[in-house]
Structure formats: structure tokens, C-alpha cells
Structure 1
Amino acid sequence: MKMLLLTIGLSLVAALLAQDPLDLVSEQLDLTGTWYVKAVVDTKEMPVEKRPDKVSPLMVTALEGGDLVITFTIMKKGQCHEKNILLEKTEEPGKYRALHCKKVVQVEELPVKDHYVFYIEDQRRGRPFCLGKLIGRNLDVNFEALKEFKKFTQSKGFLQENIFIPAQMGKCTGSGGSPVLQEHQLSAQVLEQDKLQVKVWVPHCER
């Protein structure tokens, strides 16, 4: 009986070792589905006029082999344009490369359920540029997630005054149509109650 249990145990261990560890991490992260950008931070304070006045939900699709595709919508000349970015997995768990290896994207799981951070390293005019995005499964205000995001930004050397909350853009009304802004907004009063010194960027609906 003991030999049988030992054999079964060794078989399970062998099966686990045979699996790609990156695939295991991908399953644990459970990134597929729709995500909402709840907060953004960058290494150099972005001028208000250059900030994204609204952000669309992110649709994450897992490909065979562990790569991910991020689908989102951007505004260009008053119209919606869908974009797809391929994230190619690396040997380091949770780390991906995008745009022909020009960008490095690290996915960090927060201790708050259904909340992650996309930490992006890039180059702007030959100089390093970093960006952090707090994403969540829904638009509900989660103070614990905001606190954890604040801790993360501090650990990466971001200035707290560089954190801002973008408005949420709904689905476009047809191909190339105008976006519908989500009514859900994080108000300055709500953020002040949590004593998080972050800026709220409230856009105009018309551009």
C-alpha cells in the first residue's frame, strides 16, 4: 500500500515538473477577460493636456504557448480605433515583451482579489520611461487596491503626485463612432477620504 501511494505521489510530481512553469503562472494569474484601468502612474509627471482623458476597458486573450493579446480602444480625431498588442512571454514568470521587444511588461498580482499592476518599461527619445497601471475586474471603488497600488509605486520609485485616475470610456457606438463615457467616476472627495494624494482627471465629453 505504501509503495502504491509512493508511486502515485512520484507520478504527480513528475507530471507537475513536466508542465511549463510559465503556463502554471499564467493559470494562477488568470488574466483572461475584461479589465478596467483604475489608476495610472508614470516616472515623469505628464502634462494635463497630454494625459489620456479617458481609457477603455482592456480585453486580455490568452494564446497557445502563454502569450497574451491586449485589445483596447483609443480616441483619434474624435473617433474610436481598436488596437491589439501582443505580449510575448519570457522565461521570467509574469514578464512579457511587446512591440518587437521595445517594451517590457511585468504583471504583478496584488494581495487584493481581482487586482493587478501592469508595470511597463519603455524608451522615450532614448531615455528610460516607466509606467504603472492598476487594473481590476470591475469599476467598484476599492480602497485596499488603491493602497496596495500606492505601496507598489513607492517601491518602484514613482512620485505619489504622479498618480492620476482616468475616466472610463464605454463601448463605441458602431465602427469608428464616438465613445460613451461611463458614469462611474472616482471623485476627489472619495479619494480624499482614503487620504490618497492622487489626482483625478475629469475630461470633457466633447473634444
Structure 2
Amino acid sequence: MQLLLLTAGLGLLSVLGAQGPQLIRARAQELVGRWHIKLWVGNLPIPAQKRSHPLPPFTLAMNELQKLEFRMNLTKPIGCIPFKSPLHIGPKPGVFYTWWRHFISIRFLPGKLHAIAYYSEKRGSTRLRMMMLMGRSLDEDPEAVRTFEEFAESKGLNRSDIARPPPLEACELPPDS
């Protein structure tokens, strides 16, 4: 009987593994470089007209304190404003947190050309969630999109709410920032 249960359990694990690619926990050094926001979805209170607003690329770099740092130039009426935020290494591999104590899980898709960043926080009786598919280039990858859509659904978000923001190059970061 135990052998039957073990065989069935291992068979189930192999089927579950075949349903989608294995996501790999990201380490800080592996994330360094320029990234583009390809897709994002969340239940944060963001006005509908801003959900598809163009987004500039961002950079993850090691700062002078050897901490991973998120860098993005934001478009404002007065021009491009640089935004920087250190990401501290969290309690588990692939988990980072901001100085606001927002924990962000980042996992690579196979090949490490795409990653999914996921944020979830409970506020009162509401669970706030947001995630994005980030890519090292603007090239299309249907497999990465499919994986992101499935991951979003597994976290309770709707596939129909996924935004595909166009790239914005007006506030592009210099290559060495």
C-alpha cells in the first residue's frame, strides 16, 4: 500500500512539474542590469487610465554600499526625475525588501532573460497584490507571457486585468547608471 501511495505521489509531482516551467529564485548579483516592464497586474488602487501608461526601462545595480538598488527615471511635468530605492536581501533567497518593509519576491523564468517580481501585503481585510513580468529586452516571448498569466491566476489575479504598457524611452537611464 505504501509503495502504491509513493508511486502515485511521485507521479503527481511529475505531472505538476510538467504543467509549467520551474521558477528560479533570483539572487542580487544575477539581477544586475537593465530591465523592461513587459506586463503587470495587480489589485492596487490605480486609476484605469494609468494602467496602460508607458513605462521606462529600469536598472538594478549594486550601489556604493554593495546593496542592490532599483533605479528608474520617472516622467513628470518638469522633466525626468531619477528615483532610486535600495532593495535589501530578505529572509529567504529571492526575497528582497524596501525600506518601507515591502517584501518583493523575484523569480527567474528558465534562461534568466525574464523574471517575475511579486508583491503581496495584507491591509486590514484586503490582500493587496501586484506583479510584473520583466525582461532584459523588448523582444516578444510567448512562453514568458503564458507563464506570467498562469502565475498571476495562481495568485488570485485576473488574466483579463493584465496591462501591457508600451515602452517609454524619453526618460531612459544612461547605460552606466
TM-score, structure 2 length as denominator?
0.72
Q: Distance in 2 between matches of 1:135 and 1:142?
A: 11
Aligned residues: 149
Runs of 4+ in structure 1 off by over 3 angstroms are: 44-47, 63-67, 122-128, 171-174
User: What per-residue deviation string (whole Å, max 9, x for no partner) do you get for residues 18-40 of structure 1?
Assistant: xxxxxx9626x710010000001
Question: Which residue does 1:169 correspond to in 2?
Answer: 168
CA contact (8 A) 2:73 2:172 kept: no
For structure 1, the 5+ residue unaligned runs are 1-23, 175-207
CA change 1:123–1:171 in 2 (3 A) is: farther
CA change 1:168–1:149 in 2 (3 A) is: same
Pair 1:31-2:28 in alignment: no
User: What per-residue deviation string (whole Å, max 9, x for no partner) do you get for residues 134-169 of structure 1?
Assistant: 001100111111011111111111111110100111
Question: Which residue does 2:6 correspond to in 1?
Answer: none
Pair 1:119-2:118 in alignment: yes
Instruction: Give me the CA root mean square deviation.
Output: 3.0
CA contact (8 A) 1:62 1:68 kept: yes
Partner secondary structure for residue 172 of structure 1: coil
Post-superposition shift, 1:97?
0.9
Question: Which residue does 1:80 correspond to in 2?
Answer: 80
Larger-Rg structure: 1
Question: Which residue does 1:100 correspond to in 2?
Answer: 100
Q: Distance in 2 between matches of 1:163 and 1:110?
A: 18
CA change 1:123–1:91 in 2 (3 A) is: closer
TM-score, structure 1 length as denominator?
0.62
Question: Which residue does 1:202 correspond to in 2?
Answer: none
Question: Which residue does 1:160 correspond to in 2?
Answer: 159
Pair 1:60-2:60 in alignment: yes
- Within a 5 Å distance, the mapping from 1:5-16 to structure 2 comes to none
CA contact (8 A) 2:26 2:108 kept: no
Q: Distance in 2 between matches of 1:80 and 1:43?
A: 27
* Percent of aligned pairs with the same amino acid: 25
Pair 1:138-2:133 in alignment: no
For structure 2, the 5+ residue unaligned runs are 1-24
- Within a 5 Å distance, the mapping from 1:191-206 to structure 2 comes to none
CA contact (8 A) 1:112 1:145 kept: no
Greater shift, 131-140 or 36-45, is seen at 36-45
| AA matched with 1:30 | E
CA contact (8 A) 1:97 1:105 kept: yes
